[in-house]
Copies of this chain bind each other. A is one copy, B any other.
């Protein structure tokens, strides 16, 4: 109701917008926020630290992102589209066999999680494990993402079983849960100081659980 088509949507030929243009680069601001949330987690990162790192005052932050949860969710979405956050989905899609996909996932995790160019571990795994009751929604948001990854693992393994790659005796659900646990453990170990070399050994050992693998 009360909709005026001439004011809905920007149909100007160039991307020229009205009003004062933002002085901050949204992508860079998100990158700064990502680093803080990744390192310390959602609640342990204050608006004050965020505004300082993002180079903007609280008013600008709230005008651009709504509130702290909105900023966090946009950070998580951007992380999920970045190479570092999307390597699992990429492996599941790119690799021809499930075996190769999970081997690549584990090896990538071993290389990425301890990479010193960013905070250790996986943001989705570790950024909202300790929250107060009033931020339970944020924890649930990441938990749902993790469980969605688990479901994607199971789906990939189930098609592998249908295609004959995986023996009929194998349990796709159990295998998926096992690999999910190993990956989450590798993230934790990276945050505790494990090196890429150590995590690679963990990845290789984990692959011994693959049906038919003899190690």
- Interface, chain A (partner B; CB < 8 A): 40-44, 46, 125-133, 135, 143, 146-147, 171, 173-175, 177-178, 180-186, 188-189, 191-194, 198-199, 201-202, 205-206, 208-209, 211, 213-215
Q: How close is A191's CB to chain B, nearest CB, in angstroms? A: 7
Return the chain B residue nearest A121 by Cβ.
B129
Check A206 against B192 for contact (C-beta < 8 Å): no
Contacts of A42 in B (CB 8 A): 130
Check B44 against A188 for contact (C-beta < 8 Å): no
Contacts of A41 in B (CB 8 A): 129-131
A41, A192, A206 — which one has the most chain B CB atoms within 10 A of its CB?
Answer: A192
A130, A193, A215 — which one has the most chain B CB atoms within 10 A of its CB?
Answer: A130
Check B191 against A178 for contact (C-beta < 8 Å): no
| With known contacts A42-B130, A130-B127, A185-B188, A178–B193 Cβ distance under 8 A | no
Check A202 against B181 for contact (C-beta < 8 Å): yes
Check B186 against A181 for contact (C-beta < 8 Å): yes
Contacts of A132 in B (CB 8 A): 40, 44, 46
Q: Give Cα A73 to B52, complex, Å.
A: 33
Q: How close is A35's CB to chain B, nearest CB, in angstroms? A: 14
Check A213 against B213 for contact (C-beta < 8 Å): no
Q: When the two chains form the complex, which single residue of B128, B184, B213 contacts A215, counting CB atoms closer than 8 Å?
A: B213
Check A131 against B40 for contact (C-beta < 8 Å): yes
Q: When the two chains form the complex, which single residue of B171, B201, B211 contacts A178, counting CB atoms closer than 8 Å?
A: B201
Contacts of A215 in B (CB 8 A): 208-209, 211, 213-214
